[in-house]
Chain A
Amino acid sequence: MVIERRWKKWVYFYIPLTLFVIGTLFPFYWMVITAIRPDAELYRSWRAVNNAPFWTLSPTLEHFRDLLAKTTFPYWLWNTFFIAVVSTGISLFCGLLAGYALARLKFPMAGTLGTSIFVTYLVPPTLLFIPLADIIRSFQLGNTPWALILTYPTFLIPFCTWLLMGYFKTIPKELEECARIDGATRFGAMIRIIFPIAVPGILSAGIFAFTLSWNEFIYALVFLSSPERKTVPVGVVSEMIRGDIYFWGQLMAGALLGSIPVALVYSFFVEYYVTGLTGSVKG
């Protein structure tokens, strides 16, 4: 144990940590406060004497109520969730297979393929989305969630592949070879032995993919048009600013509600997430 003096602990540890916590979490506090303030307080001038931005004495749930009852926000939550889950599923499936192939199997062009999958990650979406609009049109997927479900894997797969590749590399080859001596086929060994061990990595990649998908904006902005088909990010941006007025109360309520599903997923899996990254970063 490295022995420290007490004052050192305060200066070098407690105070910085507290500052980090405050700095990181203050915007959330701000979001919550804004979401439960009545409108009259929200628009008070900043120089007004009774302006108390950090707390409110008359909290109200009207913004949440209005959000859920009077807008298509619930649809957005469902759409985003559906799209995120399905694209994550597709990406994990592809990423898992591809990651294993690139990490474990020897075949010509392995290096090139690996690099090219990674390179696709570099192509900016702002270049792709107009040609993608053409493709979406040919498949007649415009304004459906499938337009997104098929385009999201384009940035999710490279990431999942990389993450899982790293993870697979940390699994000792002996495990597979033992299984194969015991008579398992390569394919069988892959499924029965390796994949179960990689579950933390899979979970980690899955959570990441879910988050990235939830977070995506530009494709959703371009490919979805009906209000009830929108995802949360697009919906909040395009519909919460009605005319001359930003409905800040509803905006913040929407921001909070729109973040909860992702936060929940994380809270259940944060340990897996950390260990998953540990596994992959070693490789």
Chain B
Amino acid sequence: MKKIIAGGSTDATGLQVALPRAQAAGGRSTRFLESEGLLAGLLLAPTILLLGVFIAYPFIMGVWLSLSNTSVGNPGEFVGLRNFVKAWDDSIFQTAFRNTFYYTFFATVLKLALGMWLALLLNRHFRGKRIIRASMLLPFIIPTVLSTFAWRWMFDPTFSVLNWLLYRTGLIVTKIPFLSDGDYGMWCAIVVNTWRGMPFFAITLLAGLQTISPDLQEAASLDGANGWQRFWRVTWPLLKPVTLVVVVFSIIQTFSDFQLIYVLTGGGPANSTHLLATYAYQVGVATGLLGEGAAISLFMLPVLFIVVWVQLRYLRRLEGA
């Protein structure tokens, strides 16, 4: 195959259909681009350049920062792993570390469960399907900062509409301290994150569902399977690859989440709702201790790496089978 084509246009035999204009320009440049390696190099060049300058290089600098005692306005000196040790001993860091896992775990589980359920619901035919489907995406589309503000207003210690509702229906007597209490605050954040992220799960899983032929479902139901069994035996195995991909992306985003906590609670009350990202920001930028902030950020990386690696291996195994 290759030998016939390698010569470019001059070897074309007869059929003139869909000859690109590039051939007219002459053989050498097109022959050059025939080589897979060189073409790949050319195609990848812009990406590698951008990512190299704006990620790879800053990453290395960031690592250096974490190994130094740089603070704002004061160039630092190498101090080895001292920042990491200091962070590990810091009780606020430990809270933030725990919170990040807690938050990511519960939010992901909820998003997956609710997203899957919604996807199954949306997979049917009903009136107004298109509008409902489109409107379900809204929480995901709206900038996080803006929708989180709306939630913050809904949780406001003094003017909360949710408190009002619960009070009126007689379910509570005193205000629920939504954001004034560490545990409540964490769950408020999980609720907001779930609200925001569930549509992404739903739509992606819906896309996956639509590639599953309905005949499979019919066959299963004819064999006597009920709804739950149909889901578990037929749908779920076919959805696993899609699910895994979506879960990986979601975990990456949720684990390094910054905006939501920053706007909703600012890490409070008393540092009890900090995540690694917001705490790194507070230490590095608000307090100006850049080295320590960088070290805290770096704690995120190995965890993410492991999580992603495990899931991708699982994915590869699924696809292989």
Contacts and interface: CB of A to CB of B under 8 A. Distances in A.
Assess A/B contact in the complex (Cβ within 8 A).
yes
A131 B64 CA distance: 10
Contacts of A130: 62, 65, 284-285, 290, 293-294
Contacts of B53: 135
Contacts, number: 312
Interface in A128-158: 128, 130-132, 134-135, 150-151, 153-154, 157-158
A253 to B, nearest CB: 11
Interface stretch (B79-87, B101-109, B116-124, B181-189): B116-124
Contacts of B145: 215, 217, 233, 236-237
A93 interface: yes
B301 A24 contact: no
B134 interface: yes
A98 B47 contact: yes
B20 interface: yes
A252 B55 contact: no
Contacts of A16: 117, 121
A127 B144 contact: no
Contact of B15 (A182, A211, A214, A217): A182
A103 B161 CA distance: 51
A135 B54 contact: yes
A126 B256 CA distance: 9
Judged by DSSP, the binding face of B is helix
Interface in A91-107: 93-95, 97-98, 100-102, 105-107
A131 B58 contact: yes
Interface in A170-228: 177, 179-189, 191-193, 211, 214-215, 217-218, 222
Contact of B40 (A17, A107, A193): A107
B54 to A, nearest CB: 5
B43 A100 contact: yes
Interface residues of A, number: 106
A215 B143 contact: yes
Contacts of A278: 207-208, 210-211
A188 B146 contact: no
B40 to A, nearest CB: 4
Given A24-B136, A181-B5, A236 B124 contact: no
- Scoring A28, A54, A182, A214 by chain B CB atoms within 10 A of each residue's CB, the highest score goes to A182
Contacts of B206: 274
Nearest to A166: B245
B4 A97 contact: no
27 contacts: A12-B227, A16-B121, A21-B135, A21-B136, A24-B198, A24-B199, A30-B150, A30-B161, A34-B150, A45-B159, A53-B164, A123-B55, A123-B59, A130-B285, A132-B54, A135-B54, A153-B50, A179-B18, A217-B262, A236-B145, A251-B149, A254-B146, A255-B147, A255-B149, A255-B150, A262-B143, A277-B207
Given A127-B59, A130-B293, 10 more contacts: A2-B218, A12-B227, A25-B138, A122-B252, A126-B280, A134-B61, A181-B5, A233-B146, A267-B134, A270-B134
Name the 5 nearest CB pairs between A and B, nearest first: A188-B20, A183-B12, A255-B146, A127-B297, A131-B61
Interface of B: 1, 4-5, 8-9, 11-12, 15-23, 30, 33-34, 36-37, 39-41, 43-44, 46-48, 50-51, 53-59, 61-62, 65-66, 114, 117-118, 121, 124, 126, 132-147, 149-151, 153-154, 158-161, 163-165, 167, 175, 195, 198-199, 203-204, 206-208, 210-211, 217-218, 221, 227, 241-242, 245, 252, 256, 258-259, 262-263, 276-277, 280-281, 284-285, 290, 293-294, 297-298, 300-301, 304-305, 308
